[in-house]
Amino acid sequence: MSLLKLRPSLLILACIVAVSGCQSASKRKQELAYVERPVEQLYNAAAQELDKRNYPRAILLFNEVERQHPYSEWARKSMVMTAYASYQAHDYDEAISGAQAYLSLHPGGSEADYAYYLIAVSYFDQIVDIGRDQRTTELALSALQDVTRRFPDSSYARDAGLKIDMVNDQLAGKEMEIGRWYLRSNQTLAALNRFKKVVTTYDTTSHTPEALHRLVESYLTLGLRDQALAAGATLGYNYPNSDWYQMSYRLLTNQGLDPEADSAPRRTLIQKIVPGGK
């Protein structure tokens, strides 16, 4: 083999060595040399880096507080601040694991409420559109409910409550998307179950009026006239001025059914929809 044929291989090897060297140097820069400093000085330096949005540097300094003063109050606070800095840097996995680590060591700590909240908003900020898998949305809902259940009187609980409404709307939207697909595919029973879930589980969301209308459509398709009338009456009772009710009203009256008649069901929303309700 000639020398000319060897040169490309040698060049590639040299590049690999160079890149490896750069990566090692970069990794070394991620660690601070141990220089003993007062805890307040370290913590304040970390907070200053956080204010400047230099999140990697802030994380290094907060970690240094824990390393040099592991049993201090500042070390406990630094655990939460490290998680917060990771959240600000959009490194949500690190934020979640950092907050969880704090809670495992200090479940009753004064920052516990914020640690739970940080986990919740880290999941919340990763919610994707309804066309994709909603596993993260479900994790966000569970974490937000954790905040409202554990710290009902906190400001975090109030914000979590608002976010829960948004998450429920997202999950209801996913159910509606699947239900519409089933309806278009003539899988009416499967569609019916999706719309019913929206009405019974996510009844306070913006999707409820459409879900009730789709129930009217589905029940009529299946020949279940009484159930269609009950769904239509519920829609009219709760959302009398909605376009969805106008569409349901036309469907029902074309079938000789009047959702506004005195004999139409007038029970609670869920009882009107769920078979066997009283």
Joined tokens for residue 269: 């929303």
Full-prediction pTM beyond 0.85?
Answer: no
Joined tokens for residue 250: 């036309």
Report the SS3 class of residue 260.
coil
* pLDDT given for residue 131 in this prediction: 78
Angle at 117 between CA 111 and CA 119, to 5 degrees: 105
* Cβ 65 vs Cβ 36: under 8 Å: no
3.40.470.10, 1.25.40.10, 3.40.50.2000, 3.30.70.260: CATH of 176-278: 1.25.40.10
Q: How far apart are CA 113 and CA 108, in angstroms?
A: 9
Mean pLDDT by 10 residues, the chain (278 residues): 39 41 42 70 94 96 92 93 97 97 94 97 92 90 97 95 96 96 96 96 95 97 95 93 96 93 56 44
Q: In the chain, which residue ranges form alpha helices assigned H by DSSP?
A: 3-29, 39-51, 55-68, 73-88, 92-105, 112-124, 135-150, 155-184, 188-201, 208-221, 225-238, 243-254, 269-273
Q: Which residue has the tokens 């879900």?
A: 211
- In a 10 Å sphere around its CB, with 0-12 CB exposed, 13-18 middle and 19+ buried, how is residue 123 labelled? buried
* pLDDT given for residue 130 in this prediction: 80
- In a 10 Å sphere around its CB, with 0-12 CB exposed, 13-18 middle and 19+ buried, how is residue 105 labelled? exposed
Q: How far is CA 19 from CA 11, 13, 278, in A?
A: 12, 10, 72
Residue type, 193: N
* pLDDT given for residue 129 in this prediction: 84
Q: How far is CA 136 from CA 13, 20, 80, 122, 179, in A?
A: 42, 35, 22, 10, 21
* pLDDT given for residue 33 in this prediction: 61
- In a 10 Å sphere around its CB, with 0-12 CB exposed, 13-18 middle and 19+ buried, how is residue 259 labelled? buried
